[in-house]
Structure formats: C-alpha cells, structure tokens
Amino acid sequence: MEYVNSFPEGFLWGAATSAYQCEGAAAEDGKKDNQQDVINREIHDEYGYADASVASDHYHHYKEDVALMAEMGFTSYRFSINWARVLPDGVGEPNPKGVEFYHNLIDELRAHGIEPVVTMWHYDLPMALVNKYGGWASRQIIDDFAYYARFILTEYGSKVKYWLTINEQSIVVNYIDRKNKISMEDKFNPKFRYQANHYMNLAHAKAAILVHELVPGGQCGAALDMAPYYPHTCAPADVMAAKNANAFKNYFYMDAYIRGEYTESVMAYLKRQGLDFEILPGDMELIKKGSECFDFLGINYYQSGCVKAPTPGASRRSKENNKIGKGGHVTYEVQPDLFEGCKNENIGETDFSMPIDPMGLQYVLEDINDRYHIPMMICENGFGAYDVLEKDGSIHDPYRIAYIRAHLKAMKNAIANGVKLIAYNPWSAFDLLSTSNGIAKRYGFIYVDRTDDDVKECKRYRKDSFYWYKNVIATNGKNLE
Ligand code: BGP
C-alpha cells in the first residue's frame, strides 16, 4: 500500500561515502596511517581484497566526482573526515595539506549547491592514538575526540551545518569482524566492548555539545545501523527474544544519544552477564547534556534481522559478514539467554546474504518516530553487487534500481505516517572499498574502473542507476519508474 507520492519540500537528495573507503592517497601530503589503513592491508594479505592505499582515488578525482554528483542533481553529500589526514598524530600539529583538502571538497560541493553532511569518525582512528593507548580502550580517547571535534568544527563549521559524530556505534560494539576492531589488540572481549561503548557515548556527547557551541545553526546527529528484529514465530519466547534484540541492538544506543540514559533491561542483562562497565561521577550528566544537543538521527538501513529464543547453554557469538559473495555464507549472532539470530524465510537476500526488506525501513522509521519524535536522515541504504562494465562503457544494474525504488516507496509511507525525514543519502555515491569484500562488491551510482588486483586509472562511468536516480531527484521522488 502506498499512501502519498511526495517527499517534503527542500528534501535533500544525495549519497554517502566514507574517507578510508574512497580517498586513497593514504600516505600522501602528510597523512599518517589510521587503523583502517592497517586493517585493510591485513585484509589484502589474507583475502586478496584491495587495500585503502588507492581505494577509489577520490583524493585526486574529487572535482570530477562532485561534478558527477551535481549532474545527478544532488543537494546533499555525506562523507567523513579522515582524522589522520588533518591531525596525523591524532592531536597536536595539524597537517596543512590535509586541512586544505576538505576545504577544497566542501567549497566544491557548495559551489554546486550540494549540502555537505560530515561524519567525524567512520572507523578510522589515527594509529598514533591506537599505539599510544589502544584507541577506544582508554578513557583518554574522550578528550582526544573532543580535541579533534573542536579542531574540525572550528575549521569547517562556517561551511557545514550537518554533523554526524560516530558511524554505526552499535556495529562497532557488537561485531567481532575485523572492520570493527575497537583497538588493534581487541580479541572480542565483550566486557571491554561495553566499556568502550561508554567512552564512545561520552566522546559523542562532548562533540555534540561542541557542535552547538561552535557552529551557528549547527545540527548534530550520529548514524546508527538500524535493523528491526522480527520474531521467528509468534511463540511468546521468540517474541520476547525479538523484544530483547531490539533493546540490545537498537534502543540501547538510541536511548543514550536521544534520552541521555541507558536502557534498563539491557543494563540488567549486562550486569547478570558480568559485562557491566565503569561509570564515573559526572558521566551520566555529560551524556544527558549531549542528548540535549542531539538534533537528528542518522539511519543506515540495509536489512532487517530475525531472531528466536536462545538455545540454552549456547555461547556468545557475533554475526560474521559473508566474505565470499555467495549466498548462504553467514554466521548468526547469539547473545546467551537473550536471543539467537536466524534466517527469515519470508524475504530474499543479496548474493552477500543481506536480507532485502524495504518494509523494514518503514517499520524502523515509524517505530523511532513514535518513540523519540526526532527528525531522521537516511545516511546509508544500498545494494552491494558484482557490476559489469560493458564494452560500450554502460553498466546495467536493474537490481540496484529495484532495491532503491522499493525503499523510497517505504520512506513515502513512513512520511505519510508522520516521520520527519530530512534527506536520503544512500550508499554509495561512487564505487568504493567494501568493509569486507574489497572493491568487487559495488554500491555506487558511478562505476570506478579498477579491480582488487589492478588499480588502473580509476576512470568513472555512469551506471543505469545514475540516470534513473537523476530522474528521481528531478521529480523530488514523484517518479520512481
Ligand atoms: C556500513 C558501513 C559502510 C559500508 C556499508 C556497506 O555498515 O557504515 O562503511 O561499507 O556498511 O557494507 P559493506 O561494505 O560491508 O558491504
């Protein structure tokens, strides 16, 4: 059922990327290593996937990329700042060339009428801080994150209204997968993860307060990966497991950001499991103050989840991404005595085992709006696939068009039911490194001609979805055909 056929006046249309996944120039112009440079070198050695040294070479192609975005009619673009590019040691001396790069990028966007939406941290902590004290493992990160936030807000605040502090905090905390290592020493010590989560909440709060202090009219948010959890059956124990999963994976993070408090049932569970963390005097006051500066929630929506009552005695296990790109290769999460992930037989999946569920997006948007009454921005949504560059330079990606069309319809329904949606920034503007499958798994509207083995010249090509999305934007989402 479709209720309305329009997006609000002034709705922002664009797409998203993150620094380490697209910039390249990893050791150029004064930039030092970040955690993702190191992790992606490891991934390259182990799986043969491309590392972050060249990525999509956006550092050298940014003008062309912005021109292509403008050709599609973008009015927004979500990207992240590479912390180690502007502050190579994490704190202290800035790197003039790195600082200049983001001025140039932002100016280029503004010159084309594109609103920048900037993420402060998208998985790429400077190695200097990881080596010094283990990154998110130490309370010191809170002040260093605030130092970095103050630096970039002072530098770019007059040109950027929308700021996202942290990308996908719940993913960082919940998944063992290497992309989400909190520090390089981390060996999925669950207790340590919840302490690091607390530090992230404090770092986020400081940065949110700074956005309001330093940016006139500044809007602060954070982007969370958002999957609604469905019960496998209507057996009460399965329904309870779904309630638990939604609290543990979703509300626990939103309650901290938006209400400035921790979800009671989750805190009780963590205590029972011996996973409770240290909260010092003043911490909760800071988190509360940060929540008062939280203006909008970024939603990264790819899929829904399905859970059942946990098998008694099952041990803790994190979800593992499908690394080989053939359906069915996925490991489901287990949280002992709370829930156990399983396959939802009612919906299809991508080749990378991502369940495809547009209605799940309507569900989360309405659920969050009913619960928190907060404006939202889609900061990621998209279809990862093996695209083929034809001899004539065309790329036919009907699967991506179908996926995005269905999700836009779901957004229209949510808007009709009262959801205040600011923007749609799907993943990704152009092809870039996947967190787990190199460059072979592509999400972009713009094809970047390189492979995992051969960087070639990273020449850009327009996919079919490029032209389709251009028309969607031109009609403010009225025409999705
Ligand atoms: C999100 C991340 C992005 C992005 C996307 C697609 O979790 O915020 O960085 O990569 O997922 O995931 P993947 O690259 O693993 O296919």
Whether ligand 1 lies within 6 angstroms of the CB of 435 is answered as yes
When pLDDT is cut at 50, 70 and 90, the band that residue 322 belongs to is: low
Task: Specify the range with the lowest mean pLDDT, choosing from 103-107, 237-241, 315-319.
Answer: 315-319
Average pLDDT of 270-292? 97
Query: 213: which residues sit within 8 A by CB, 6+ positions away?
Result: none
Helix/strand/coil for 468: helix
Q: Which of 434, 436, 437, 439 to mutate to test the pocket of ligand 1 (most atoms within 8 A of CB)?
A: 434
Average pLDDT of the chain?
Answer: 93
Q: Which of 23, 108, 115, 168 is catalytic?
A: 168
Whether ligand 1 lies within 6 angstroms of the CB of 49 is answered as no
Assign domain 12-474 to its CATH superfamily: Glycosidases (3.20.20.80)
Nearest to 256 by CA among 222, 214, 305: 222
| 406-to-165, 401, 410, 476, 480 alpha-carbon distances in Å | 29, 9, 6, 16, 9
Whether ligand 1 lies within 6 angstroms of the CB of 167 is answered as yes
pLDDT above 90 covers a percentage of the chain that reads 84
Whether ligand 1 lies within 6 angstroms of the CB of 168 is answered as yes
Whether ligand 1 lies within 6 angstroms of the CB of 438 is answered as no
Q: Check whether 4 has a pLDDT greater than 70.
A: no
Cα(456) to centroid of ligand 1, in Å? 24
How many CB atoms sit inside 10 A of residue 377's CB?
24
Q: Are 82 and 33 in contact (CB under 8 A)?
A: no
Whether ligand 1 lies within 6 angstroms of the CB of 362 is answered as no
Whether ligand 1 lies within 6 angstroms of the CB of 18 is answered as yes
Average pLDDT of 94-107? 98
For the entire predicted model, the pTM comes to 0.96
Task: Give helix then strand counts, H and E, for the chain.
Answer: 16, 14
- The end-to-end CA distance of the chain, in Å, is 17
Q: Which of 35, 380, 386, 433 to mutate to test the pocket of ligand 1 (most atoms within 8 A of CB)?
A: 380
Helix/strand/coil for 15: strand
Helices (H), 175-321: 190-214, 236-246, 252-254, 264-272, 283-291
Is 380 known to be catalytic? yes
Taking CA atoms only, the protein residue closest to ligand 1 atom 14 is: 434
| Whole-angstrom distance, CA of residue 109 vs CA of residue 127 | 29
Q: What is the pLDDT of residues 18-75, one digit of tens each?
A: 999 999 999 999 999 999 999 899 889 888 899 999 999 999 999 999 999 999 999 9
Cα angle, residue 275 at apex, residues 272 and 277 outer, rounded to 5°: 120
Q: Check whether 189 has a pLDDT greater than 80.
A: no
Nearest to 435 by CA among 226, 171, 248, 185: 171
Is 168 known to be catalytic? yes
Cα(436) to centroid of ligand 1, in Å? 8
Q: What is the pLDDT of residues 386-413, one digit of tens each?
A: 999 999 999 999 999 999 999 999 999 9
Buried (b) or exposed (e) across 342-360, using 16+ Cβ within 10 A?
eebeebebbbbbbbbbbeb
Q: Are 247 and 266 in contact (CB under 8 A)?
A: yes
Q: In what order do the strands lie in the sheet with 305-308?
A: 229-231, 305-308, 339-341, 334-335
450 CA to centre of own chain: 24
User: Is the C-alpha dihedral spanning 213, 216, 221, 222 positive or negative?
Assistant: negative
Whether ligand 1 lies within 6 angstroms of the CB of 335 is answered as no
Q: Which of 427, 428, 432, 442 to mutate to test the pocket of ligand 1 (most atoms within 8 A of CB)?
A: 427
Task: Specify the range with the lowest mean pLDDT, choosing from 127-131, 133-137, 401-405.
Answer: 133-137
